[in-house]
Amino acid sequence: MVRHANIEPHNSYNTNEVSEILGTSEKTVERMTEEFEILVGEPKPVTLQGFIVRKNKKVSHDELVSFLERGAKAICE
């Protein structure tokens, strides 16, 4: 999906890059990171774990891949 959004793979992505990858708004990505919580050892499929670097919210590549896998799993169930 990262390649489909014409974004080079990185260790982490800003909310704008994540929104382009997911095909959603930047505001939605910000809300998803704010709503991140762990439930019985597993995150909700519709949330992302973010972190802040110099006032900029970021999402790690591993978290983005995990998010996509959680979403695919939720769709298949």
- pLDDT at position 3: 58
Question: pLDDT by residue (tens digit) across 4-29?
Answer: 556 678 899 999 999 988 989 999 99
- pLDDT at position 9: 81
Closest by alpha carbon to 20, among 56, 59, 73, 53? Answer: 59
> Does 77 have pLDDT greater than 60?
no
- pLDDT at position 68: 84
Task: Indicate yes or no: pTM above 0.95.
Answer: no
**CA–CA distance, 64 with 24 (Å, rounded to integer):** 14
Question: pLDDT by residue (tens digit) across 48-63?
Answer: 999 999 999 999 999 9
